[in-house]
Amino acid sequence: MDLISKGWFSEIQDDLWPGQSFSLKVKEVLHKEKSEFQDIQVVETETYGRCLILDGIIQCTTRDEFSYQEMISFLPLCSHPNPQKVLIVGGGDGGVAREVVKHPLVKEVHQVEIDDRVVQVSKKYLPSMACGFDSEKLVLTIGDGFEYMKNHKNEFDVIITDSSDPVGPAVSLFHESYFELLKQALKEGGVVCSQAGSFWLDFDYVKKTMKGCSLHFPKVGYAVTSVPSYPCGHIGFIIGSLDANRKLEKPAKRFEKSEIDALNLKYYSSNIHEAAFTLPRWVEKHFYE
Ligand code: SPM
């Protein structure tokens, strides 16, 4: 199916967000291919800069990606007192790696991405994100995250899962068994963070995923950020800690304004960290009671 009609890309996904769709006016299609795993497109838009689209779903635009990439990275990193060794599962555009390597306590970052074509296309068309791959702290492996973790036990302080939505290849990353694997790959007191969908669209799914996470993690929270190019302009993250006493909404590491500026953070701050866990009453009631 052609995703672009009369110069507009429309994100139509009847299974994931029935009856609604976000559209972007397209200036030019820069790249289009079918990899072994998915359809990959990069388009230049009129008002959101460049946009990466996988299987018809917007992954990031250069205008607003920092909100997602900073929050999925710094929420878990700052929920851990000493996040020296980090694993990123997915994140083929490089934006999460770009953020994680900024953290002053992070020494070593390993990333496992299944689709090398996403990495190569991002290097060519999305250099402001793919610059994350250039860090000396980073080791990139092309392969399956499940298989990778089976061979890496008790290794990481923080694991971030930057996946696409729970359809196709990413569906298993939302299952309870995935959280069990994450737990085994973590060191004592480790923290995980996964893209988890929006409470506006995926209410039951988020709740179910939180339940799966809480079978293996004594402390579980859900935090949100605003991303205008995602459906409903909104997305959330599930964060799990192996330390039952950790208060996820209170950053273990607080950054001063000068540090935030030095790290070139545009969205994340310690105040935003605390606010991100504050949920509307109806959501809080259903997620936590
Ligand atoms: N590094 C950026 C990759 C983005 N991964 C998440 C994409 C999610 C897009 N759909 C959001 C729908 C929320 N229900």
Average pLDDT of every residue of the chain? 95
57/123 same-domain check: no
The values of phi and psi at residue 209, to 5°, are -65, -40
Q: Which CATH number do you get for residue 144?
A: 3.40.50.150
pLDDT surpassing 90 at residue 266: yes
Q: Whose CA is nearest to atom 14 of ligand 1?
A: 197
Distances (CA, A) of 4 to 52, 56, 253, 266, 278: 14, 10, 44, 31, 37
Q: pLDDT over 70 for what percent of the chain? A: 99
pLDDT at 1: 63
Is residue 199 within 8 A of residue 209, CB to CB? The reply is no
Does the structure show a pLDDT above 90 at 79? yes
Rounded to whole angstroms, how far apart are CA atoms 56 and 35?
13
Which of ligand 1's atoms lies nearest the C-alpha of 201? 14
Q: Tens of pLDDT along 119-177? A: 999 999 999 999 999 999 999 999 999 899 999 999 999 999 999 887 776 788 888 99
In this structure, the answer to whether residues 40 and 72 fall within a common structural domain is no
Q: What is the pTM of this model?
A: 0.96
Look at 255 and 25; give whichever has higher pLDDT. Answer: 25
> Are 95 and 139 within one domain?
yes
- The number of folded domains in the chain is 2
Together in a domain, 91 and 155: yes
- Domain limit, last residue, from 44, 61, 78: 61
Mean pLDDT of the region 178-192: 97
Structure confidence at residue 45 (pLDDT): 98
Element (H, E) at 238: strand 234-241
Helix (H, G, I), strand (E, B) or coil at 122: helix
Quick check: 2 pLDDT over 80? no
Domain hosting 53: range is 4-61
55 and 193 in one domain?
Answer: no
Rounded-to-integer distance, Cα 217 and Cα 229, Å: 31
Cα three-residue angle 114-160-41, rounded to 5 degrees: 45
Most informative mutation of 114, 230, 232, 238 for ligand 1 (most atoms within 8 A of CB): 230
CA 287–ligand 1 middle distance (angstroms): 21
- At 248, list the tokens: 């996820």
Distance of CA 232 to the CA centre of its chain: 17
Question: Which of 269, 287, 129, 266 is closest to 196 using CA atoms?
Answer: 287
| 202 has pLDDT over 90 | no
Q: Quick one: pLDDT at residue 33?
A: 97
